[in-house]
Amino acid sequence: MKHFQRKKSIGLLGGTFDPIHNGHLRISMLALTHFCLDEVWWIISLANPLKKKQKITSFEERIEKAKAYPKDKKIIVSGIEKEIRTPYSIDVINHLIKKNKKVQFVWLQGVDNLKKMHEWKKWREIFYKLPIAIFDRPFYSLNIINSKSIGFFKNKRTKKVHSSNLKLLRPPCWIFHYGWGCRISSTIIKNKFKS
C-alpha cells in the first residue's frame, strides 16, 4: 500500500513589523487554529514601496525584535526579502512556491491592507498563486467593501465553514475572518512614542 505524505502548510504574514505587537501575534495564532496551519512565517519587509517617505526602523533591528518577541514555536521570523533583495510580496511568494514544492502556502493579511492592495506589484497574480485569509480589524472593515482588489475577486470568496480546508482550495480564493476586537497597529504605537 502506497502512503502519501501530507504537505506542510504555512501562513505568510508580511509587514514592516515596526514595531511588532500583539496584533501580529493574534493574527498568527488565529491562522494556526482556524486554518489548521503547521506554521506561520513573519515576512519582515525591507520597506513598504507604497510608503516611501515614511521613516522606518532598520531591517536588522526589526528582525532582531521580532525574533526576541514572545511567540509560539510555530511562528518563524523570516528575512527572505533581504535574502532575495526585493520589497515586493509577489516576488517573495513566487520564490517560496518555487523553492518549496511540498508546501501549501496561505497569504495572511489585515483588512487595513486592502485599501491599497490594488496598487501592489502584480496584485492579481497574488490571488492566483495562493489562498488568502483576510482578518477583520476595527475601523477598517469598510475597506473590504470599498476594496478594488476584493471587488475584482468578489465571486471567489470562500465561506467560513471551509476555514480548515482553505490551504487545500484552488486559488483564486479568499476568506474574511470576522470578530477580532483589537484596535492596535504598528502606526498607532509608533505615533504614541513620538508624542
Determine the topology of domain 8-194 in CATH: Rossmann fold (3.40.50)
- CA pair distance 95, 182, nearest whole angstrom: 32
CB 106 within 8 Å of CB 12? yes
Gyration radius from the chain CA atoms: 16
CB 83 within 8 Å of CB 59? no
* For the chain, domain boundaries: 8-194
Asked if residue 147 has pLDDT above 70, the reply is yes
Nearest to 15 by CA among 135, 146, 138, 160: 135
What digits encode the pLDDT tens for the residues 71-112?
899 999 999 999 999 999 999 999 999 999 999 999 999 988
- Residue carrying C-alpha cell 501530507: 6
Q: Helix, strand, coil % (nearest 5) of the chain?
A: 45, 20, 40
User: What does the pLDDT read at residue 188?
Assistant: 42
Which of the residue ranges 77-81, 139-143, 171-175 would you say has the lowest mean pLDDT? Answer: 139-143
